[in-house]
Chains A and B, each alone.
Chain A
């Protein structure tokens, strides 16, 4: 059975090698300060008591007044898993956090996806650009304040574009 690190125990273990980096913990989650994410992740990967050698997923959540970046870690040698979170972009202007690609290469595409759809910048990413939408796309569509429908495109009925223009 995979051991799941509890938030409290993991927070304590992290504080032991990187003091002052934990914001809070609850359940099985640990909230880290965004500026300490590189140090903590590097420690979690290298140190013999964790050996988190696999980043199983990296994603982000929009909480309207801020974003949360979520890291799911797996340790194959220790058969353990853990969840890290970090709150960024308070006030939703520019959200950014350090990239973990130098630590886990698998973060490459996932960070690009988060940038593409959520608009969170990953500093130090070796290939920081959109992954699914095209260059020049306006905005980041999975943000909750994104206006969904592009009103300039008509529906399939010919003449529908004119009726939209009239409605403006």
Chain B
């Protein structure tokens, strides 16, 4: 062999852990993560039922249940702050929906919150993999009630193009209950806005002495 002896790029000392210096530090973390993913995969076999709002027959036609409800629901629906989270290509449509041309600010939701504690709405925009499902469920759990979920795009709704794939959740409703589904691959910003308006419509129908709003 000619030339200089090549150096180990990671500077592993001789006689160190044969699996490598990096691995001995990180493998425990990876195992813990893998266990939580496998646990989620083996326990979330059935989708959550969709949180359908039951409105009594005699109130079906009227939107205003009482003046207190009206005020509360109006306040809630006019300030639905979405969580700033995007998973795949769909998130770019969500971003452009927030920009000047489509202007999410018209609905009182221009403030995309960076913290789940300050957010009311989780827009699942994109492909949800099992590995990401654990952090996403944690974000959902951290959001204060009442909270709402929009599943944006076919990936989030059913797995879409990746249906039956080895790594993709077959519908985000396996992980959390979903209020509004927006179809499309990707849905245009208009479609997302329509979905948001449907959600507003739903929020307007809640009543203080009826079903609790935005709960699991």
Q: Which of B21, B26, B167 contacts A141 (CB 8 A)?
A: B167
Near A by CB (< 8 A), chain B positions 30-76 give 30-31, 33-35, 37-38, 41-42, 45-47, 49
Contact A126 B30 (CB under 8 A): no
Contact A126 B166 (CB under 8 A): no
A95 at the interface (CB under 8 A from B): no
**What is the 8 Å Cβ interface bit string for chain A, positions 18-60, against chain B (1 contact, 0 not)?**
0000000000000000000001001101110000000000000
Contact B38 A136 (CB under 8 A): yes
Contact B42 A152 (CB under 8 A): yes
Contact B20 A128 (CB under 8 A): yes
Contact B21 A126 (CB under 8 A): yes
Near B by CB (< 8 A), chain A positions 117-160 give 125-130, 132-137, 141, 146, 148-150, 152-159
Number of interface residues of A (CB under 8 A): 37
Contact B47 A136 (CB under 8 A): no
With A134-B131, A158-B47 already in contact, the answer to whether A47 and B170 are too (CB < 8 A) is no
Q: Report the Cα distance A152→B130, complex, angstroms.
A: 14
Contact B164 A127 (CB under 8 A): no
Number of interface residues of B (CB under 8 A): 45
How many A-B residue contacts, CB cutoff 8 Å? 108
Q: Inside 8 A of B38's CB, which chain A residues have their CB?
A: 134, 136-137
B127 at the interface (CB under 8 A from A): no
With A126-B23, A127-B20, A128-B19 already in contact, the answer to whether A156 and B46 are too (CB < 8 A) is no
Q: Inside 8 A of A130's CB, which chain B residues have their CB?
A: 30
Contact A42 B6 (CB under 8 A): yes
Q: Inside 8 A of B173's CB, which chain A residues have their CB?
A: 156
With A155-B171, A158-B49 already in contact, the answer to whether A134 and B20 are too (CB < 8 A) is no
Q: Inside 8 A of B205's CB, which chain A residues have their CB?
A: none
